[in-house]
Amino acid sequence: MNKIVISSILIFITISNISNAQGHYNGGSFNTNDYFIPSASGWVFSLYYSFSEMNYYNDSGDKTDRIEINENPPFSVELGQKVKTHSIIPMISYFAKTKVLNAKWGILALPMLNNPNANIALDFYSEQSLLDSKKIDFNSFGLGDFYLQPIWLTWEKKKFSTTFSYGTWIPVGKYAANSTENVGLGYWSHNIRVMGRYKPKDKISLSTGLTYEINSKQKGTDFKEAPHLTLDYGASYSFMMGHEIGLFGFGTWETGDDRGEKAVLDNDQIYGLGCYGSYWFKPGKLGILARYTSNFGTRNRFGGASFQLGINYLLF
């Protein structure tokens, strides 16, 4: 039986909907080794539950109930705090036996079922005005935006590995301008990622890399979310039978200005730290994962804490 060390993959708000960012991608969405294609080939089926609780922070890093909107002159709108999100995240990934450009390759598909997350809440509140203010329905639940990663390559050489991937968020989640029941963002996001890994010993992994996200114009509005650059890093230790524990961190920075009437006035940033652990009931076959993430240094966006619990089934 092939033995494999795989920690469970969790993507932006997921991988999250982990719901602590603007745009689609969240830093810290993957565990340390999940950016890299494993040595074994075949299919991985996963199912996750994610819970998040977020608050909005202004340009000074203070928790607030007002968002500064970029109009001329600027004005503020009221928002609701403690945005709580429950998400169900199924995931399918495939790792090929063959190579492309001398690299192992794979694909990843990530549909989501969720209620409005902090990204959607920020988008909703930014559309409100003093004359026409509505209340978002956080109890609505449905199919969220879909992530597809059709390009995923990993090169390995002794203790070093390098991976490149391209993925896109497809706006299939329900979205209509100023709707109180949105579960999608209404625009495409393109993620370009380069990561490196160093293994000083077989059981220890250290990784770091960059993800750049570019967003399209939002359906039915003049709004366009600015690009974001995310630095991810982490370390893990693998036990016998494939069990794993790890730490991870990230920083995300907006690299331009939002466009449109509901653009947030100042650029945003966020940092985070987290930990995870995975356990295999049947090594290389059936396992579970738990992970926790906490944000700090949040500016002009929602930040807080999230928790995920998942199960993986490997068919190799």
Token pair 């602590």 is found at 20
115-161 per-position pLDDT tens digit: 555 566 666 666 655 445 555 655 666 788 899 999 999 999 989 99
Q: What would the DSSP string read from start to end of 183-211? A: -S-SS-EEEEEEEEEEEEETTEEEEEEEE
CATH number for the domain that contains residue 258: 2.40.160.40
Question: 7 lies in a domain?
Answer: no
Q: What is the 8-class DSSP label of residue 124? A: H
Count of the separate structural domains present in the chain: 1
pTM above 0.75, yes or no: yes
Choose between 251 and 129: higher pLDDT: 251
Q: Please check the confidence at residue 247 and state whether its pLDDT lies above 90.
A: yes
Place of tokens 């074994």: 40
Residue 23 lies in a domain: no
Cβ neighbour number for residue 222 with a 10 Å cutoff? 11
What are 22-64's pLDDT values in tens digits? 788 888 888 889 999 988 899 999 888 888 888 888 888 998 8
Range of the domain at 219: 42-315
Identify whether the C-beta of residue 25 lies closer than 8 Å to the C-beta of residue 15: yes
Question: Does residue 137 lie within any of the structural domains?
Answer: yes
85 occurs within a structural domain: yes
